[in-house]
Amino acid sequence: MPFAGDEVRLDLLRCAGPGGSRHCVTEIHVHPDALRRLGLHPEQPTARVTGPAPPAWWHAEAERLARRGAI
């Protein structure tokens, strides 16, 4: 694991869902210095699309190969 135990915190929150049912939300907090060791930092911009989406056949082929266990 790339993180020490005190660098990561996992919070499990119980919330009321639609219709009064309960559901859980998980939040993962990682210390900024731990991210910097991996070449990441909190000031980085969020990920965004930088080009066109792959063609529809590409996704279909990936699903077909996954069902076969080839990937």
List average pLDDT for each run of 10 residues in the chain, which is 71 residues long. Answer: 85 83 87 86 73 87 86 62
The reported pLDDT for the residue numbered 1 is 58
The reported pLDDT for the residue numbered 8 is 93
Nearest to 34 by CA among 64, 4, 13: 4
* Whole-angstrom distance, CA of residue 44 vs CA of residue 38: 13
The reported pLDDT for the residue numbered 52 is 87
The reported pLDDT for the residue numbered 47 is 67
